[in-house]
């Protein structure tokens, strides 16, 4: 499944151009879309406006059936992932960062050509994304300690409140920030024990494909992260209304003309699905600044607070 960046460039003289079609990432495997559809991905335009678009790859165009399969895989993985120790989850996330570091050149090239950045800027973005994985890995065994509490009560009881994962989270990843933004929504969701179904950037999906390959070669259990490349506006409504999805992050609706966050929020309300609203709304909205310090807000967005009473000994 791994593909070097050189394979996405023009072939050498005398060679046939082998065009890659990337698959979905569901349940730890790389299935084709059940519809058989795919779409072409082109490099971000640079220079003169009249320049010919540069073809990069074909990417599977996921359908609502693929999204349902991804939800089923995420649901199956919830028990094992949420039941793992926080220390173990931190180790797994750190391993993902290690694999990303070993594939740095591929990430840099795909971010550069996908987002139209300079090589130096692409290097900085990839470094920030890897550092963010490490940052969240460090929070794995500290989050519960920071957010839990022993509540004062009038009586001979211990009253303890502690966070627990919500379950399956649907993530509409940012459209512009194809790697740093992607990491910024995926890592905080899974570090607290959730599993997720991710709809990555439609026009810039290659960093998400690279991340899927990094996940597949790390020790993250299959189904914890599922990546469905697709037309976001086509699949997102089905995820929002899916009754086995416990929460949805609408970050990726910012700036998408044919995707209304309000309609998704209404669809989610029918099944009492938790919703994280985007920082900006509507086609004119601007994505949030993912280079800023992330804080703990996204980790807190997808946990439930469980309160337990226990009698004290006399």
Does a structural domain hold residue 11? no
pLDDT tier, 1 (very low <50, low <70, confident <90, very high otherwise):
very low
Does a structural domain hold residue 182? yes
DSSP character at residue 151: P
Does a structural domain hold residue 5? no
Does a structural domain hold residue 83? yes
Cα radius of gyration rounded to whole Å, the chain: 20
- Report the alpha-carbon distance of residue 62 to residue 66 in Å, rounded: 6
Q: What is the pLDDT of residue 167?
A: 97
Domain count along the chain: 1
Does a structural domain hold residue 10? no
- Report the alpha-carbon distance of residue 226 to residue 220 in Å, rounded: 11
Q: What is the pLDDT of residue 7?
A: 42
Burial class (CB in 10 A: 0-12, 13-18, 19+), 121: middle
Query: Does residue 314 register a pLDDT over 60?
Result: no
> Mean of the pLDDT values across residues 235-254?
92
Q: Report the DSSP beta bridge partners of residue 197.
A: 170, 226
DSSP character at residue 290: T
- pTM of the full predicted structure? 0.90
| Phi, psi (degrees; rounded to nearest 5) at 294 | -70, -30
Domain of residue 212 covers 21-44+54-311
pLDDT tens profile 21-61: 899 999 999 999 999 999 999 998 765 555 678 889 999 99
Does a structural domain hold residue 1? no
CATH number at residue 82: 3.40.605.10
Q: What is the pLDDT of residue 52?
A: 78
Q: What is the pLDDT of residue 220?
A: 96
Does a structural domain hold residue 240? yes
| Phi, psi (degrees; rounded to nearest 5) at 250 | -95, 20
pLDDT tens profile 122-177: 999 999 999 999 999 999 999 998 998 888 888 888 888 889 999 999 999 999 99
Does a structural domain hold residue 12? no
């Amino acid at each position: 499944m791994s593909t070097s960046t050189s394979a996405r460039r023009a072939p050498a003289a005398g060679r046939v151009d082998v065009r890659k079609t990337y698959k979905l990432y569901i349940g730890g495997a790389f299935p084709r879309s059940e519809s058989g559809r795919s779409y072409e991905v082109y490099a971000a335009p640079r220079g003169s406006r009249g320049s010919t678009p540069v073809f990069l790859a074909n990417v599977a165009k996921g359908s609502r059936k693929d999204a349902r399969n991804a939800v089923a895989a995420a649901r199956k993985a919830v028990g094992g992932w949420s039941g793992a120790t926080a220390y173990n989850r931190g180790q797994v996330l750190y391993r993902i960062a290690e694999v990303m570091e070993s594939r740095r050149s591929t990430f840099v090239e795909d971010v550069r050509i996908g987002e139209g950045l300079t090589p130096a800027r692409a290097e900085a973005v990839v470094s920030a994304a890897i550092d963010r994985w490490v940052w969240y890995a460090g929070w794995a065994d500290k989050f519960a300690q920071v957010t839990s509490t022993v509540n004062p009560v009038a009586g001979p009881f211990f009253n303890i409140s502690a966070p627990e994962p919500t379950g399956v989270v649907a993530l509409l990843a940012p459209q512009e920030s194809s790697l740093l933004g992607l990491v910024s929504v995926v890592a905080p969701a899974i570090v607290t024990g959730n599993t997720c179904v991710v709809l990555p950037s439609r026009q810039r999906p290659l960093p998400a494909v690279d991340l899927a390959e990094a996940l597949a070669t790390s020790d993250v259990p299959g189904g914890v992260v599922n990546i469905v490349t697709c037309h976001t506006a086509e699949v997102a409504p089905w995820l929002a209304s899916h009754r086995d999805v416990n929460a949805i992050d609408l970050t990726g609706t910012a700036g998408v003309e044919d995707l209304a966050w309000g309609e998704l929020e209404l669809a989610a309300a029918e099944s009492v699905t938790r919703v994280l609203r985007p920082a900006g709304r509507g086609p004119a909205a601007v994505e949030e600044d993912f280079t800023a310090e992330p804080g703990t807000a996204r980790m807190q967005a997808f946990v439930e607070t469980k309160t337990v009473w226990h009698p004290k000994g006399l």
